[in-house]
Structure 1
């Protein structure tokens, strides 16, 4: 049976990382860096997302997205079919809890649809899940 341990910590000098590796030395350990696991391009139909450059292309034309738009799109595109609540998307984009009653995520989704969907009123990619949130479909 394989087990996976994920540790996320602030470790500026690498001391925590080295301590963990030393503790696991007698085991069969494979070290994977999270950066190596990220795809270099995500594709949604005719939309290509380049996470490292924070760029989005549609039919070979660059689509200019602001910080929040790109962050929400990238969050959902990494997990097609997964439903994200507004709170999760807000946190993914701005790294803080969503204030009750804010419609920031809804407005951001509306702008994304306008930039990415051929017919924003009948979206193909960014779907609303009634009373839950949003998801991306490929």
Structure 2
């Protein structure tokens, strides 16, 4: 069984941390110091995507995205320039087979554009590839 222990304390001289390390000496442990962890994110102009927190900001302001919106945006943003079909995006977001005739992906893209694009009618980031699907341009 794997256990994770998180300790948060004010320890100006490091004595608490050293005593914890002493107690763990000889044990099979991995120590990660929170200040060493850098958040990894994707950047599209003034849009930043933080997958670990499922968080998106635009010009430093947090944008609220629902589950499907975030999942589709993240799928597109990981591979800029790559064209994804509606079926691929639906599967990436919801892990289900796409039903022909549904406009769920198109509606989700429309909502994403209205939240992220400077002019949703003339998108800068999320591009439509006629008769194929969608892609992100950096």
Q: TM-score by structure 2 length?
A: 0.72
> Following superposition, which runs of at least 4 residues in structure 1 exceed 2 angstroms of deviation?
none
SS of 2:120's partner is coil
Point out where structure 1 has 5 or more consecutive residues left out of the alignment: 1-38
1:32-43 paired onto structure 2 within 5 Å: 40-43=40-43
Task: Count residues in correspondence.
Answer: 100
Deviation at 1:100, TM superposition (A): 1.1
In the alignment, the residues of structure 2 paired with residue 121 and residue 77 of structure 1 have an alpha-carbon distance, to the nearest angstrom, of 20
Shift of 1:40: 1.3
Q: Using the alignment, how far apart are the partners of 2:50 and 2:100 within structure 1?
A: 32
Are 2:98 and 1:105 aligned?
no
Does residue 131 (structure 1) correspond to residue 113 (structure 2)? The answer is no
Q: Which residue matches 2:63?
A: 63
Q: SS at the partner of 2:52?
A: coil
| Alignment-derived partner of residue 76 in structure 2 | 76
**Alignment deviations for residues 62-87 of structure 1 (CA, whole Å, 9 cap, x no partner):** 00000000000000000000000000
- Bigger radius of gyration: 2
**Gap runs ≥5 in structure 2:** 1-38
Partner Cα distance (1:94, 1:40) in 2: 23
CA deviations on 1:16-47 (whole Å, 9 max, x unpaired) are xxxxxxxxxxxxxxxxxxxxxxx810000000
SS at match of 2:93: helix
**2:73, 2:60 → 1: CA distance?**
18
Give RMSD over aligned pairs: 0.8
- 2-side partners of 1:106 and 1:131: how far apart? 12
TM superposition shift of 1:116: 0.1
